[in-house]
Structure formats: structure tokens, C-alpha cells
Amino acid sequence: MILGSEVVTYVYEGICPYSGELLRLPRTLQVEAIAQNLMQEIKRSYPDNAEGKMYGVLLAESSTGERLVLKAFSGLLNGKSDLEGWVSPIAGREKVAIEESITLSKLATIKQELIELSEIPERLQYKSLSQEYESQFQALSDRHQVSKQERHAKRSQLLASLTGKELEIALKKLDRESQQEKIVRRDFKCDRDQVLLPLKEIITLADSKMQILKQQRRELSRTLQAQLHNTYVLTNFAGETRSLRELITEGAMPTGMGDCCAPKLLHYAATHNLTPIAMAEFWWGNPSLDGYKIQGEFYGACVERCQPLMGFLLSGRRSPPAPLKKGGEELFLFFRKEDNQVSLFKGDLGGSLPIIYEDEHLIAIAKPPELLSIPGRYLDTQDSVLSRLRQSFGADVHIYPVHRLDRQTSGILLFARDLESLRSLSEQFQKRETHKIYEALLSGKIEREQGIIDLPLWGNPENRPYQQVDLPRGKPSVTEFRLLGQVENYSRIEFIPLTGRTHQLRVHSADPQGLGIPILGDRLYGCLAATDRLHLHARELTFSHPRSQECIHLQIPVPF
């Protein structure tokens, strides 16, 4: 099928803060082609710059009908915020330029001190010696265990063959051997501690200094960001201006808000009387630190920095040209990497719900957070993945939910397209023949590397939807977990639920009998940290195809 330049591959959207209207700006094949040309330009102009960052292009139209292309980068490029040929940074930063320079210098000094403290030679010495002592102590313990077993056998023989004084002397000799081995182990531990404890004290002192420096770094960054947020002023297409602080009134604003490509491009268009037609953002350079953004890939508006601003930035925008239509319905393009096939679907899937797998029997969606899996009972809970799919594909197309995800949870959500497939898939879920993997960010550090949580859950009918551990009344609930890593005061965890209870992972994480730390953003179960979402994501799903019985493995990136 030949696709026109207006085929939509993604939609930037936001709620107008004044009218409540859902405002949208598409990413099209045409603007993606423009972005790919920019990728080659960056490759030629900055061959030695491997720093990974987001870039963006905006196709816009002037009041005279002339088509223009604007380009922007996030943050700094080669250490500069303003470069010829690129959209200028949003006004405001220059007002705190001196304070920013001083703060950045302090942050650079702190960073270097943290590096030096993390690389002190005592850390390597302690690790090496600890492993060596552990190995020696294990060998010593093994020898003593063998000796203990031999003494036990000998004691039995003595009791059977000797009596009186002779038996007493022989048994005392065995006791002295046991005591001597205890002394050897005690002396070994004393020698070990004399070597390791001074190193440990140095490491502990270094860690304490690092904690102080990290706190100083947070406070400096927080102060600088507050200054920037108060001075950054955005303009929308209605001519209204607001500072970041006025736009984001609740919670903490993430570092770098206002420096992303989308706000720069839309602000520039609004202040130069340009009408946006389409926009695209992509990553170029080394992969992001979390490994989820890679060179040459297109990405949507970031949840933390850009999405909260979209509604205001798009307000007052004149309607762009209509997208390519066929039979009165908009066409949207999605690319399936599994088979390198381009698939065309009708409608916008109710707000750009990405399809990650589809055939004539089933469909899998990448569900965003804060969207219901299926409609609720009341008017204000009708918006859901299922209702959007049915609206998009039409009332005559059958779509059945196979399972659900919590409203706050993102990730893979599976639907059947016929009753036979629904029965087959539902049976797999009921018999626990599917394999699900979740990833979460906990709001604190855990000490355990991996394990199994086996805590029955019960939902109090007087306090729905809250679930709690209840040994006599709860239903069996089992979760495997594995620590993937720790960053500052957070723990990244992989969860494998072996049962499928409501809020199972959230309760097993938060309950003191489980991990004892709630998932970041889970206010229902005790997380008080300011964040814009529940950091729980259904990352992988494996099941048998309901017709072919082929093993289907689906996996999508974690958005946090």
C-alpha cells in the first residue's frame, strides 16, 4: 500500500487547562523523513560528539503559507545552549546565568569528590581480602566439621568399650579437641577483624562523606531548578505566557524541565506566529543510562518533563491540515520490529495506544499508566483500553479482555478477537501456564538479592480496593523477586507473580512481612514520595498462541 506523507505514526497530546479539550499534534511519515535527514546532518557536523540526547524537528507553516522546518536539541549541545541554526532555548535561563554557572561549578567539584571517594583503594583491598578470608574460614570450618563427625563416632565407640576413670579421661580429651578448634576459629576471626575493620572504618567514613555530598548535590540542584522554573516563561498559541512554576503547581519538577525539544519547538513556533503541522523527536548518540533509548529511534513526549506541558503549549493552535484519509477514517502507521513488517490500522486507537502484536485471533497493547483496562461502572470511568479499541475498530469487531492491569500500572495487555481464543487464553492464565515478568522501582533500598514472597492476601469489603496480608482469610499469593540494581535510595526489582491476586505485587512489596518497601508512587500502600506515576510495569508476557500453539513472547521497554 502506498502511504501519503500525512500518515500518522504517533500523536503528541495534552488536555487544554482552560477548556478541558484534548489537543493533538501528529508525528507523520513526512516529518520522520525530515528527522532522518537531521540525523545525517548531526553525524556530519558533530562526528566526535557521542553524548546521547533527544533531538526534535517541527514542520510548521507561516502566516503566508510557507512551510518551515525548525530543529532543537535537549539541554546542551557541545556545552552550549544556543547554536546558530537551532531553536533558541526558552527565555529565562539568562536571568540566573551567574547563579547557574556557580552552581554547576560546585556540582562538578562534588561529582569529582564522589568519584574519588568511590574509588579509594581500601574498597578494592577490603573486597579482595574479605573474599580471601571467607574462603579460608570456609575451608577451616569444613575441616572442623569433619573432625566433629569423627569425634562423635569415637565418642560412641568409647561409651560402648570403656567405663569409669578410663572413659572419663578419653571423653575429656575429645572435649579439649573441640575447645581447641573453637579457639582456632576465634583467633582466625580476631586476626581477620584486625585487618578488615580498619579498612571498613575508612570505607564507612568515605560512604558518610558521600552521603553528605549527595545531599549537598540534591540541595544545590533543587535550588537551581527552583530558580530556573520561576524564570522559564512559556508561550502558547493563544499568546498566553506562564512560568514553569505556574504550570506545575503540585509535586516536584524533574531536572531539565523546559530544556526538552518539544517545549522549545512549540514555544518558538508560538512566539513567531507559526502553525505546527507535525513534530518528531529522536535519540542520537550513546544509549541512555537506562538503556531504553537508542540511536536513531523515534520517541514520544517524555512522561515527566514534556507531557505535563503539552496541554498548555498546544492551546490556541490553529488546526493543522487534515491527515490522509481513506473511506473517511484516519490512517495510523505502527512498525512491528519482530517481523520487520509495517502494519496499517484504522483510527488513532483512542489516544495512540501502541499495538505490539496483532493477528486475526488476538491483539496486545502497550497500556499507559492511569488508564483503565476495561470500563468502570460509572460515567467518569468509561475511558479504558477496551473502550478505545472498540471505538477504534468499530462496534462490529469483537474484542475481549483476557486479563487486566491496575489503572496505575503500565505494560502489556492482551485481548482476544474471538470467543475460542478467549477461552484458550483465559484457561492458560487460570492454570498459570503463562509467564509474566514485571519491573518496578521501590522507594527505598532492600538488602535481599532474590527470593520468594508467600503471603496470602485478603480484600476487606469495607475498604476496597485495599488488599492486606491475612493468614486465616487470605488467598494464596506467591511472588518471585530479583534485585536488578540500586540507584541512590531506590531499588529496581524484577517481579514474577506465580499467582494473580489484586494488587499482589504492590502488597508483597510494601508489607513488612514481604520486602517492607512500597513501590515508588504507590500512595495507597504507603509511598509518600512526590512522583507522577506508579513505577510498576508489565514488561514481558509469554503464552501459547490459542490456535497455532506457537510460543509467543512479548517484551516492551520499561518507561522509567
27 vs 298: CA distance, rounded Å: 10
pLDDT digits over 88-110, tens only? 887 665 566 677 778 888 988 99
Inter-residue long-range contacts of 551-556, CB under 8 Å, 24+ positions, other chains counted: 552/357, 554/356, 554/357, 554/364, 554/412, 555/412, 556/356, 556/366, 556/411, 556/412
pLDDT digits over 219-271, tens only? 888 787 777 667 778 888 888 888 777 776 555 555 556 678 999 999 999 99
For the cut 80, the answer to whether the pLDDT of residue 352 exceeds it is no
Write down the pLDDT at residue 379. Answer: 54
Q: What is the mean pLDDT of the chain?
A: 84
pLDDT digits over 44-55, tens only? 888 877 788 899
Q: Enumerate residues 6+ apart whose C-beta is below 8 A from 475.
A: 456, 457, 458, 499, 501
Q: Just list the catalytic residues.
A: 406
Write down the pLDDT at residue 255. Answer: 56
Q: What is the DSSP letter of 384?
A: B
For the cut 60, the answer to whether the pLDDT of residue 531 exceeds it is yes
> Does 456 sit behind a cis peptide bond, omega within 30 degrees of 0 on the bond before it?
no
One-letter amino acid at 249 equals: T
Strand 536-544 relative to strand 410-416, pairing: parallel
443 vs 486: CA distance, rounded Å: 11
The angle formed by the CA atoms of residues 250, 251 and 252, to the nearest 5 degrees, is 130
For the cut 60, the answer to whether the pLDDT of residue 70 exceeds it is yes
> What integer is the mean pLDDT of 384-394?
85
Question: pTM score, two decimals?
Answer: 0.43
Q: Kindly report which listed range (74-83, 322-331, 424-433, 439-448) carries the lowest average pLDDT score.
A: 322-331
